Structure 1
Amino acid sequence: MDRFGSMAFTTSGFRSWKKVNDGKNCAFLNHIGKDPNSSHKVAMQCYHDLGNSLQHLDKIIEKQNSEQVAKNRLQLQVSIDAAKWCAFQAVAFRGHDESLDSNNRGNFIELIKHVSPYNEKVAAVVLDNAPRNVSYTSPKIQKEILSIWSSKIQKHIREEISDSKFSILVDEAQDRSKREQMAIVLRFVDKQGYIRERFFDSVHVHETNSLTLKKEICDVLSRHNLSMQNIRGQGYDGASNMRGEWNGLQALFVQECPYAYYIHCFAHRLQLTLVETSQEVIPMEQFFTNLSLLINLVSSSCKRVDQLRVARAARIAELIAIDELETGRGQNQMGTLKRPGTTRWGSHFSSICSLFTEYEDICSVLIDVINYGNTSTQRSEADRVYDFMTSFDFVLIMHMMRDILGFAQVLSQALQCKSQDILNALKLVSVTKDRLQSYRDNGWNELFTNVKTFCDA
């Protein structure tokens, strides 16, 4: 019998159950023994020691797992915060080259690289210190994080809408990859009575016909349990596939929801009206054509732009020196010539205002190009632009359009307000028409006086 096997009943077993209670002769008591170092007691001690060591290993493993979970969560939180910052700033996540030896691995990774040294715990778990298979910085992870954020935002907007009626605002445009993207905005009144406009989704569409657009819009609304019967308004541009009376997108929705009234943005319509009207009057059309030529000539060269800024700065300094200009924070800012655009609200008015502000400086730059231009083509073009810019007709129309578009600008800005009622809008339209009529009937003398003063200055 070895030390731990004696009297263990593992060989011959035990049959004398009648003698179990036989006092000192009890086989079990004899097996235990009185000696502290008996085989049984030594074996029991080994058993307990083994059990304690297993518990210790479990604690070590559990502690290691907890530490790893904390590291993984910190690592993921860093990626979430970086994605949140990039999305909030509307910057591209990924760079052209994200390889390890790249000098610029894109905004997402470079942001993590930049902020991680400020926290030792963060630096210990991200980028080069992260496991290769669990870095939480791959494009797939970035997209998953954005998708989760998108879902949370859409859920919040859905809760804001609740069971309220709402309007849909839709527009489509091509992105840089030439993919047609449709943006969906929801307009509604929240529980506190405030008008809200929320960008809700962006959908890639393969076609821009009305049926395809309607299907995609309905799919988005259906995914978020928004009933089409709660639509009370539609806002699109004036394209035929959107506003068509019979087959346009607005008509398709009206067929299923008769209260979904279509409204073409009033500010947009006002802008298009002004542009179309000016194109029908030959002197006006020629004025804006020449204005575009002027802006192209001055803005197409960095050298001329710098010359314009220098001339502007010198004139401002001169006017301040003779107390004709006040100084202060935000005053006398260096501006640029603004290009008019057909669909940019108020752009024609802004363009004329910038021309007024920098008229003398532009003339100075044009004279410099006429005298010292590098090529005969440049000198000839500058001379032609200078001639029509300094003509009486150009100056007269410039003053007149500033006044007329100024009246319309007040109306345009009012129509762009988030909160507007139809009665106030109609009143503003009536006031604008009255001001234009008054200008037509009684404004000529003042106009000619202003033009003469401008030319004499």
Structure 2
Amino acid sequence: MARNTEQTFISLGFRNWKKGRGAFDKHTNSKAHIVAVNKHTHTHNSVRMQLCSISEKSQEAARSALVKIVSSLRYLARQGLALRGHDNDEGNFKQHLEEKAESDPKLASWLLRNHAYTSPECQNEILQLMSNAIIRQIAKNIHALPVLQYSLIMDGTQDISGTEQISICLRYVDADLEPREDFVGLYEASSTTGEHLFRIASDVLLRLNLPFSGLRGQTYDGAANMSGHLSGTQALIRRQQPLANFVHCGPHCVNLVTQATCKSTPVIRDALHWIHELGCLLAQSGKCKTTFKDIAMSTTGSFTSIKPLCATRWTVRAPAIRAVLSQYNAILSALEEMASAAKVNDNTASRAHGVLQKLEAGNTVLGLLLGQEVITRLEGLNSSLQARGKTISGMLKAVEYVRQGFLSLRADAAFKAIYDKAVDFAADLDLQQIQLPHVRMPSRKHGGPAKHHTPATPEEYFRVQFFSAIDMATTQLHERFDQVSLGNLVKLEELLITGNKNMVVSLYPELDLQALQIQLAMFKANNTYTSCKEAVQILRGMPPEVRGLFSQVETLVRLLLVVPVSSCEAERSFSALRRLKNWLRTTMTQLRLNSTAVCHIHRDTLKALDKREIATAFIGTSERRVHVFGQF
């Protein structure tokens, strides 16, 4: 280049434009121009290649930014946090991306140039892709079972905006014979009739490719639209699949038993009412609550808050009773101060005085102790039935244990111990003695020739009430859990334990009676068990080759495990609903609510999702996105 340099076209410039064409042609054929062209051709790519290289780098930066967008959405959905605030710029999603962009200049630059892919529409789409991936994994797990068996759990509630939300969960038994209950979505219901809820359930099962032929159980609460034997959801499903045994939710049954038991006995009913009034009194005023807290801390050194009793949750009353009994003296002192304080308004003072008079009565103390004895047993049963792995046989055995426990209380010694404790409690706190309430004489018009019996002592009078509560509890436990649909399952468990033939097996197409009898005989000859749970432990401990010999026994065990005993999994999703759709998020659409709920509840599964797969699915829905992001 040094030997062939022409300064005119490099540094001096061309001035003789009249002879320009000839000079240009001469320069084109010169050695300087030929050398320059050859050097440029061998050292630089074409314009097209340069543009492709720039496009590839731009797509790579876009894909990196998209992965971070998916990561931010996954994090916020997992934690149940709002994506946007009053405006998008101040929302959690935008701020989380800006926080990431501080340490990533490429992301910061890309976000400045591209706003469309952080819009609410794209957020909803990505959330839905993550939600669908989780639901597909659940359906895949069910389809991968040796025998297609699953159960349906449904319950409904209203969200903060008054929209009826139906929660649907599926129960199945995994490869380790462990029952699993998975939430699959919240669905808006325009009507709560049994037929409409049946259509919702059918649509969900159809979308998941789960046929009714594999449905073996269904569990709801006791509402007529769900459990009605003519037009309830369970009746409509059983017309499609008669083997879908309906189970009235066990904890709901215990709740109804507790409600009936407490309301049947005046002394317990009235004592619980005054606890509720005390909770309302303390809850309506911060000054009243502070007064009680200060007195409790100064006398006992500890403080337990007393809240109003829930009208529907009857199995949480035992802690309230214990809180009142353990702080009884502090409660009386606080009520005396509230009733006589000059700065307290008249309404509060009169209410405090009325509650104080009732709590100073020994009858109230006796009602609390009797109620504690009854409610604590039922509350323990309720808690034990809420676990995911509970089975029908285990539930019935637990109910029978509680019934026997109540029957053991029907003795004079049991009541005598409680009565003496109430008398000593009232004497220690200088309360009114337990008194016999006024008993009205029967009308002569309706009286018979026999003399009317009048209890001679308070102990005799309240003994009758206590025994009445026990009888009500035992009767209700028998009636609530003596469900006709559980008969087949009880017979199947008898077959597993005893090996005795019964005709229930012929109802289930997955069971071969002849093969089952042969395998059961061999299984019982080599193992000792007395319950379905023990049989499960034996099957789990077998080598795969040995376990394969008892395929029909395993199918029978799966059938006993797959039917749920409660709808608590749906109730748990309502807790997530309260966190996700609150007073600040009432305008959330159903699509975003359902997608976020699935992601929030299945946190571990969400965390295991591949961000690149979600981003790839997002890119593949549009040719424009393929042009912007390219391919991973």
> Which TM-score bucket, shorter chain as reference?
0.7 to 0.9
Partner of 2:234, secondary structure, is helix
Contact between 1:4 and 1:43, CA under 8 Å: does it hold in 2? no
Partner of 1:402, secondary structure, is helix
Shift of 1:56: 6.1
Shift of 1:401: 0.8
Indicate which of 385, 408, 418 corresponds to 2:388. Answer: 418
Structure 1: distance between partners of 2:96 and 2:353? 51
Contact between 1:268 and 1:343, CA under 8 Å: does it hold in 2? no
Amino acid across the alignment from 1:365: A
Structure 1: distance between partners of 2:52 and 2:304? 65
Indicate which of 375, 380, 383 corresponds to 2:350. Answer: 380
2:201 aligned residue: 217
Q: Does 1:138 align with 2:107?
A: no
2:306 aligned residue: 337
What is the total number of aligned residue pairs between the two structures?
A: 403
Q: Does 1:125 align with 2:107?
A: yes
Structure 2: distance between partners of 1:38 and 1:399? 112
Structure 2: distance between partners of 1:214 and 1:79? 38
Contact between 2:170 and 2:181, CA under 8 Å: does it hold in 1? yes
Partner of 1:183, secondary structure, is strand
Contact between 2:295 and 2:330, CA under 8 Å: does it hold in 1? yes
Amino acid across the alignment from 1:259: L
Amino acid across the alignment from 1:440: R
Structure 2: distance between partners of 1:354 and 1:112? 48
| Structure 1 residues 228 and 130: alpha-carbon distance in aligned structure 2, compared to 1, 3 A threshold | same
Contact between 2:156 and 2:165, CA under 8 Å: does it hold in 1? yes
Normalized against structure 1, the TM-score is what? 0.80
Amino acid across the alignment from 2:163: R
Structure 1: distance between partners of 2:71 and 2:371? 50
Q: Does 1:78 align with 2:68?
A: yes
Residues 74-223 of structure 1: pairs in structure 2 closer than 5 A: 74-95=64-85, 97-98=86-87, 100=89, 105-113=90-98, 115-116=99-100, 119-121=102-104, 125-126=107-108, 130-131=111-112, 133-134=114-115, 136-162=117-143, 163=145, 164-223=148-207
1:452 aligned residue: 423
Task: Specify every segment of 5 or more residues in structure 2 that has no aligned partner in the other structure, as ranges.
Answer: 1-20, 430-632
Amino acid across the alignment from 2:416: N
**CA root-mean-square deviation:** 2.8
Partner of 1:217, secondary structure, is helix
| Structure 1 residues 108 and 389: alpha-carbon distance in aligned structure 2, compared to 1, 3 A threshold | farther
Shift of 1:43: 6.6
Structure 1: distance between partners of 2:280 and 2:97? 42
Task: Specify every segment of 5 or more residues in structure 1 that has no aligned partner in the other structure, as ranges.
Answer: 7-36, 318-331
Shift of 1:400: 0.9
Partner of 1:168, secondary structure, is strand
Deviations 1:10-42 (A, max 9, x none): xxxxxxxxxxxxxxxxxxxxxxxxxxx982866
Structure 1: distance between partners of 2:198 and 2:59? 46
Indicate which of 401, 423, 435 corresponds to 2:371. Answer: 401
| Structure 1 residues 131 and 275: alpha-carbon distance in aligned structure 2, compared to 1, 3 A threshold | same
Shift of 1:2: 4.5
Tell me which of the two structures has the higher relative contact order, counting C-alpha pairs closer than 8 angstroms and 6 or more residues apart: 2
Deviations 1:64-99 (A, max 9, x none): 43443343234333332332222222233222x216
Deviations 1:388-439 (A, max 9, x none): 1221111101011111111112222222222223333323222212221222
Shift of 1:366: 1.4
* Larger gyration radius, structure 1 or structure 2: 1
Contact between 1:231 and 1:259, CA under 8 Å: does it hold in 2? yes
Identical residues among aligned pairs (%): 25
Amino acid across the alignment from 2:225: N
Structure 2: distance between partners of 1:160 and 1:140? 30
| Mean CA deviation greater in 183-192 or 351-360 | 351-360
1:267 aligned residue: 251
Indicate which of 331, 345, 355 corresponds to 1:362. Answer: 331
Structure 2: distance between partners of 1:120 and 1:419? 46
